[in-house]
Amino acid sequence: MYSLISFILLTISTARAFTQGECIKHDFALIRLASQLSPGAAISCRHSLLQEYNANRYWGEQYSKNATVVVFPLTADDVSHTVQAASSSRLGWDLAFVGGGHGQTNASSTSGFLIDLSWMNSTKVLHDVRLGDVRIPNAISYQGGATWKQVTDVTSNTGLAAVGARVGDVGVGGFSTGGGIGFLAGAYGYAIDRIRAFEVVLLSGKIVVATKTNKYSDLFWALQGGGGQFGIVTTFYQEAVPEPTSSEFGIWIIARDSWEQARQNTVHFFHSNNDPFSLMYYSLGYYPQHLLTGNLTTTMVIVGIRFADPRGQSASTVDAYGDRPRQPAEQMTFNATFNGLLQGLDIEQASIYNVPYGVATELSTPFFPYGYRRGFWGPQTSKVSASYLAATSDGMEAYINQSLARGEVPTSAVWVLQYMYPNQNGHGPASDSDTAWPHAQTAHQTLFSPAWRSAVDDGFVIQHNDALNKITHDHQASVGPFIADYPNYISPKADGYRVWGGNVERLTAIKAKYDPECRIHQGRVFASEACIANGWANIYPPKS
Ligand SMILES: Cc1cc2nc3c(=O)[nH]c(=O)nc-3n(C[C@H](O)[C@H](O)[C@H](O)COP(=O)(O)OP(=O)(O)OC[C@H]3O[C@@H](n4cnc5c(N)ncnc54)[C@H](O)[C@@H]3O)c2cc1C
Ligand SMILES: *[C@@H]1O[C@H](CO)[C@@H](O)[C@H](O)[C@H]1NC(C)=O
Ligand SMILES: *[C@@H]1O[C@H](CO)[C@@H](O)[C@H](O)[C@H]1NC(C)=O
Ligand SMILES: *[C@@H]1O[C@H](CO)[C@@H](O)[C@H](O)[C@H]1NC(C)=O
Ligand SMILES: *[C@@H]1O[C@H](CO)[C@@H](O)[C@H](O)[C@H]1NC(C)=O
Ligand SMILES: *[C@@H]1O[C@H](CO)[C@@H](O)[C@H](O)[C@H]1NC(C)=O
Ligand SMILES: *[C@@H]1O[C@H](CO)[C@@H](O)[C@H](O)[C@H]1NC(C)=O
């Protein structure tokens, strides 16, 4: 009788998670994991439906590998059981985990053991949160596998919002551990400057809350821009910002005979804008002539965006540059803000949108389609000039022309310069050592996002990226201080100093402490002793 009951219990408990495929039967760690996961979680073997679903989630074609086994956890406890199972599974030496699948370092896919966080996608708007030693008056908490569209769908019309990506498909996980530049970053700071607590599953399986001031403050610091190689973040707690009451977008296609004037106007905007809620993008890309219709061609698109400051305070904060006109008492209108930017330009097409903040990201999503080999790379600069913009634009056009000559069709390939408000309106860190990613000095982001089909052209694309990076790095060296590259736009060959400046040594020590066996080692890996010993390290401290 007793053995019958225990047999039934065992049968029930081994059938909790949903499993697909044969790989589980041959691996005791996976059999046990299936009994530990919560109901509804899943384990899927290569060639099964959920594994194939996973392989199709990656934005850049070259970043997707077929995992031998994919686990879909639902809770932090599930993630904890999974990392422990991976340490005893024969597949676990080749571990990776994926959030939104938009990362550009090959870190989030593996042919071995993959943890797919996409079923941990819930978001909450919380008030008076007490977590560890922090208190957050208004927080947006989002689970580690959500996308930004899923977050904004929840925060929309609540009066509160998070600083999130400008494209809805991007995952919160890579974004929030690698910097986090959103539309509202100029007004309220980057995501890493607004996160007050991370719930993290360590490689030991222990679930901890890291804050700036508790016993995991070193882990907290590393997650502020050091990327996803210290543990798996299961929930982010970001201090909320007031939701803008309107979002006005202008998308202008500029005739070629006005390109030089457009560059001068852009530089003027960068030097004179005094509204933290207004920003712009200068871009050159390969798009249909009228963005939606017409033949593909090299197109200059200028985008201006103004969010209505819900507190009506955009005028009251910092006096950013000495030479900047004082801020007016009231936020300027959209037309007044972008009048100078459009002055004297031959505009081929103008599209103006006024949308709720909750759907603002959907305006940029179509510009970044799936289905190509892709890059998403670029350094930053603190000061722009028209000649700098002419040089990078020529570099982009050369890339387009040569791609076409090689038989590629670089549809949606783009080079963008993104404006950032000085000192993020008072929300930037005081020093470069305050966060893993040095960003005390305000900088504007450049982005080279090529698109191509053939693996044969991988090297050609990377050469163009190197050439574009060199223009920005040389330009920055001639106009101002060292500016670290943006971690979420890390270039294929960038060394540690380029992205993390003087913080690489400390990051390496924290990597050794929290991942002593270097089990997280896909993509870019800090050179701890264990990572070096196994041949995985590729981010070294600068030679002294
Ligand atoms: C089309 C497009 C638009 C973008 N727009 C923006 C933008 O507006 N602003 C901006 O700042 N960046 C932007 N990015 C860059 C983006 O932030 C990074 O590519 C980021 O790494 C993507 O995160 P992900 O979770 O989607 O990627 P993934 O490929 O899933 O993960 C990237 C890295 O983060 C790790 N990771 C994922 N989830 C977690 C987690 N929960 N805990 C710990 N580590 C985790 C992964 O293991 C991997 O190392 C964009 C990228 C693309 C391709
Ligand atoms: C992954 O598997 C699919 C289906 O079997 C296959 O078409 C694809 O080429 C594989 N991808 C890689 C990178 O091996
Ligand atoms: C990513 O991995 C694939 C498959 O292993 C490889 O072909 C490709 O070169 C890698 N890409 C990068 C950017 O490392
Ligand atoms: C979000 O998570 C739920 C389970 O928690 C899952 O059913 C759903 O498919 C997830 N959404 C996506 C887009 O993966
Ligand atoms: C697109 O190009 C073709 C061939 O050059 C031309 O005949 C056609 O008129 C072009 N279409 C538009 C909308 O410009
Ligand atoms: C803003 O400018 C556009 C185009 O010049 C014009 O059509 C529109 O009426 C202006 N809006 C306001 C509120 O002035
Ligand atoms: C690219 O090709 C176009 C069209 O032929 C030409 O006008 C332009 O000068 C070329 N630009 C570069 C940088 O090669």
With beta carbons less than 8 A apart as the criterion, state whether 241 and 83 touch: no
Same-domain check for residues 157 and 27: no
Pocket residues: Cβ below 6 A from ligand 5: 294-295
Backbone angles phi, psi at 402, to 5 degrees: -70, -35
The predicted pLDDT at position 311 comes to 83
Indicate which residue's Cα is closest to atom 1 of ligand 5: 295
- pLDDT exceeds 90 at position 315: no
Ligand located closest to 292 CA: 5
Q: What token pair was written down for 376?
A: 């998403």
Separation in Å, CA 313 to CA 18, 165, 361, 464, 501: 52, 24, 24, 43, 35
Ligand 4 pocket, residue 146 CB under 6 Å: no
Q: What is the DSSP string of 134-199?
A: EEEEEEEEEETT-BHHHHHHHHTTSSEE----SSTTSBHHHHHHS----TTHHHH--HHHHEEEEE
Taking only the tens place, the pLDDT of each residue in 241-264 is 999 999 999 999 999 999 999 999
| pLDDT score, position 329 | 66
538 lines ligand 3 (CB under 6 A): no
The stretch 288-297 carries a mean pLDDT of 91
Which ligand has its closest atom nearest to the C-alpha of 289? 5
pLDDT tens digits, residue range 372-396?
A: 999 999 999 999 999 999 999 999 9
Residue of 65, 66, 108 best suited for mutating to test ligand 2, as the one with most atoms within 8 Å of CB:
66
Q: Whose CA is nearest to atom 5 of ligand 3?
A: 65
CA 63 to ligand 2 center in whole angstroms: 12
Type of residue numbered 191: A
**Structure letter (DSSP) for residue 96:** E
Atom of ligand 1 nearest to the CA of 522: 49
Judged against a pLDDT cut of 60, whether residue 410 lies above it is answered with yes
User: Does residue 5 surpass a pLDDT of 70?
Assistant: no
Question: Where does a domain end: 242, 275, 293?
Answer: 242
Ligand nearest to the CA of 455: 3
Residues 518 and 471 in one domain: no
Which residue matches tokens 């977008």? 249
Q: Could you tell me if 36 and 93 lie in one domain?
A: yes
| Residue nearest ligand 5's atom 13 by CA | 294
- Domain match, 165 and 110 both: no
* Cα–Cα distance, 199 to 81 (Å, whole number): 15
Answer yes or no: is the C-beta of 65 below 6 A from any ligand 3 atom: yes
Q: Which atom of ligand 4 is nearest to the CA of 74?
A: 5
Q: Whose CA is nearest to atom 3 of ligand 4?
A: 119
Q: What is the pLDDT of residues 50-72, one digit of tens each?
A: 999 999 999 999 999 999 999 99
Over range 79-108, report the average pLDDT: 97
Distance 106 CA to ligand 3 centre (A): 6
Pair (481, 355) in one structural domain = yes
- Of 434, 447, 476, residue with least CA distance to 189: 434
- Per-residue model confidence (pLDDT) at position 290: 86
Q: Are residues 360 and 490 in the same domain?
A: yes
Which ligand has the shortest distance to the CA of 288? 5
If one counts the domains in the chain, the total is 4
Whether 8 shows a pLDDT value over 70: the answer reads no
Which residues are CB-neighbours of 528 under 8 A, at least 6 positions away? 508, 509, 511, 512, 515, 516, 518, 537
Q: What is the pTM of this model?
A: 0.95
The residue whose CB lies within 8 Å of the most ligand 5 atoms, and thus the one to mutate among 253, 293, 295, is 295
End position of a domain, from candidates 199, 214, 242: 242
User: In whole angstroms, what is the distance from residue 41 CA to residue 37 CA?
Assistant: 6
Atom number in ligand 4 closest to CA 40: 4
**Residue 41 beta carbon below 6 angstroms from any ligand 4 atom:** no
74 lies in the same domain as 152: no
Binned at pLDDT 50, 70 and 90, residue 15 comes out as low
Q: Are residues 130 and 110 in the same domain?
A: no
Q: Using CB atoms within 10 Å of the CB of residue 219, give its burial: 0 to 12 exposed, 13 to 18 middle, 19+ buried.
A: buried
Mutational pocket test of ligand 1: of 61, 80, 98, the residue with most ligand atoms within 8 Å of the beta carbon: 98
Distance (angstroms) between ligand 4 centre and the Cα of 486 equals: 30
pLDDT at 478: 98
- Average pLDDT of span 513-541: 97
Q: Calculate how far, in angstroms, residue 231's C-alpha sits from the geometric centre of ligand 7.
A: 47
Domain that holds residue 515: 497-544
pLDDT at 275 > cutoff 90: yes
| Confidence (pLDDT) at 328 | 59
Q: Which of 68, 87, 116 is the last residue of a domain?
A: 116
Distance CA 55, CA 371 (A): 12
Q: What does the pLDDT look like over 136-152, one tens digit per residue?
A: 999 999 999 999 999 99
Instruction: Tell me how far apart the alpha carbons of residues 34 and 27 are, in angstroms, rounded to a whole number.
Output: 11
If you average pLDDT over residues 325-340, what whole number do you get?
Answer: 83
Segment 428-433 mean pLDDT:
97
Tell whether 229 and 306 lie within a shared domain. no
CA of residue 537 relative to chain centroid, distance: 22
Rounded to a whole number of angstroms, the distance between the first and last alpha carbons of the chain is 71
Mean pLDDT of 272-276: 95
| Mean predicted lDDT score pLDDT of the chain | 94
Residue type, 529: E
Assess contact for 377 and 489: CB atoms under 8 A. yes
Confidence class for position 16, pLDDT limits 50, 70, 90: confident
CA angle 153, 157, 158 (to 5 degrees): 95
Q: Which of 366, 378, 369, 453 is nearest to 415 (CA)?
A: 378
Q: With the C-alpha atoms ordered 203, 223, 218, 122, is the resulting torsion angle positive or negative?
A: negative
CA–centroid distance, residue 306 to ligand 4 (Å): 33
Quick: pLDDT tens for 471-485. Answer: 999 999 999 999 999
CB of 54 closer than 6 A to ligand 4? no
User: C-alpha dihedral over 119, 120, 121, 127, to 10 degrees?
Assistant: 160
Could you tell me if 470 and 344 lie in one domain? yes
Domain CATH code at residue 11: 3.30.465.10
Predicted confidence band at 206 (pLDDT cuts at 50, 70, 90)? very high
Rounded Cα gap, residues 417 and 444, in angstroms: 7
Residue 112 CA to ligand 3 centre (angstroms)? 15
Positions of E strands within 401-489: 414-418, 444-449, 451-452
Measured from the Cβ of residue 439, the count of other Cβ atoms closer than 10 Å reads 28
- Short-list 292, 263, 298, CA closest to 391: 263
- Which atom of ligand 3 lies at the shortest distance from residue 458's CA? 9
Tell whether 274 and 401 lie within a shared domain.
Answer: yes
Co-location of 405 and 288 in the same domain = yes
- In this predicted structure, what is the pLDDT of residue 317? 45
> Tokens 């690698």 identify what position?
178
